[in-house]
């Protein structure tokens, strides 16, 4: 694996690069594990390295979507606005369990606490709905990037927030109209958004958002959308 100097990067974020992500093939079958660092190096991604991930979309009871702006300490896509929480299940037994994506949903609960400070008991895995998966690839810069099969997870609940500033520099709840305004600003390069959030917002998000009380009709556990 390539050697990359991380001395100039945020110490807390560099420690997280040692976490073990779940390696998969293009059909989301587990084939092994590797470090978060190796999974996010473009040099490995260009050779086909692919890992499992998730994106949480959390709405409050007013049907507003919680967005976060990633901190400038983040190694990939710093300062970008994105959906509520985006991360990876880890290669340990609780998060490897695949039945109804329970391992991924447990990972989402863990990261909602780590990033946004949402108490574990406020969002349980049972309250997280798994809709579908998307497969995408994106470069953050010349060294770092993403290549993931991303589980799309929805939650609707009022929660308590206490974000970690090393992860998140700002957050806000938005209406559909406000999100469309943010996307317009991003198109003019006035703000930055993550590539996966842009893809999801341009394809599925508003359709799902219109049907928060009836998401079952959009559940596609057999399909992987290639973006």
Give me the catalytic one of 95, 115, 146, 148. Answer: 148
Q: What is the pTM of this model?
A: 0.94
**Distance (Å, whole) CA 65 – CA 118:** 15
Residue 13, pLDDT score: 66
Active site residue 167: no
Asked if the model's pLDDT at residue 5 lies above 90, the reply is no
pLDDT, tens digit, for every residue of 26-80?
A: 999 999 999 999 999 999 999 999 999 999 999 999 999 999 999 998 988 999 9
Residue 187, pLDDT score: 96
Give me the catalytic one of 85, 86, 95, 115. Answer: 86
User: What CATH number belongs to 11-226?
Assistant: 3.90.79.10
Active site residue 86: yes
Least confident of 13-22, 54-63, 202-211: 13-22
Q: Are 96 and 30 in contact (CB under 8 A)?
A: yes
Average pLDDT of the segment spanning 177-193: 97
């Amino acid at each position: 694996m390539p050697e990359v100097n991380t001395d100039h990067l945020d110490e807390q974020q560099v420690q997280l690069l040692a976490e073990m992500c779940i390696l998969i093939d293009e059909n989301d079958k587990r084939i092994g594990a590797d470090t978060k660092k190796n999974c996010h190096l473009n040099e490995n991604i260009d050779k086909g390295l692919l890992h499992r991930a998730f994106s949480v979309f959390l709405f409050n009871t007013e049907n507003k979507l919680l967005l976060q702006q990633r901190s400038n300490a983040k190694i990939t896509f710093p300062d970008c606005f994105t959906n509520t929480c985006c991360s990876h299940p880890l290669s340990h037994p609780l998060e490897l369990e695949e039945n109804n994506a329970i391992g991924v949903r447990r990972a989402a609960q863990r990261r909602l606490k780590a990033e946004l400070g949402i108490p574990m008991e406020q969002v349980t895995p049972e309250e997280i709905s798994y809709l579908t998966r998307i497969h995408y690839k994106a470069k953050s810069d010349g060294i770092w990037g993403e290549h993931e099969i991303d589980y799309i997870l929805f939650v609707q609940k009022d929660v308590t927030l206490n974000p970690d500033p090393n992860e998140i520099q700002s957050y806000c709840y938005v209406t559909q109209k406000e999100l469309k305004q943010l996307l317009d600003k991003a198109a003019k390069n006035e703000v930055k958004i993550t590539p996966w959030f842009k893809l999801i917002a341009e394809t599925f998000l508003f359709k799902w958002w219109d049907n928060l009380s009836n998401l079952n009709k959009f559940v596609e556990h057999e399909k992987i959308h290639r973006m």
